[in-house]
Amino acid sequence: MPEIIYTVEQTAKTPLIILNGQTGVFELTGRSLPENPVQFYLPMFIWMENYFLHPAPQTTLNILLDYFNTNSAKCIVELFKKLK
């Protein structure tokens, strides 16, 4: 069984990520400037694939990013596509 909550601590270049599979609330907060955004966000996407097997009745995405670079924007678009 997958973990109910996925978290990544915020750094100067990466956002705080909290994905709560029980409540269905997903949050990204801070700045997204990782060296390799695809590698940084991949574990989150893997967690989400497991979440989609048994999602909460409602999923809410809260994005509170002060800044994100172009490569991070591509990952955020992928996040939207997966939630669609």
Residue 3 has pLDDT above 90, yes or no: no
- Mean pLDDT, to the nearest integer, of 1-7? 81
Residue 8: per-residue pLDDT: 98
Q: 5 phi and psi, to 5 degrees?
A: -125, 135
Kindly state the percentage of the chain with pLDDT values over 90. 95
- Mean pLDDT, to the nearest integer, of 12-27? 97
End-to-end alpha carbon distance in the chain? 23
Q: What is the pTM (predicted TM-score) of this model?
A: 0.92
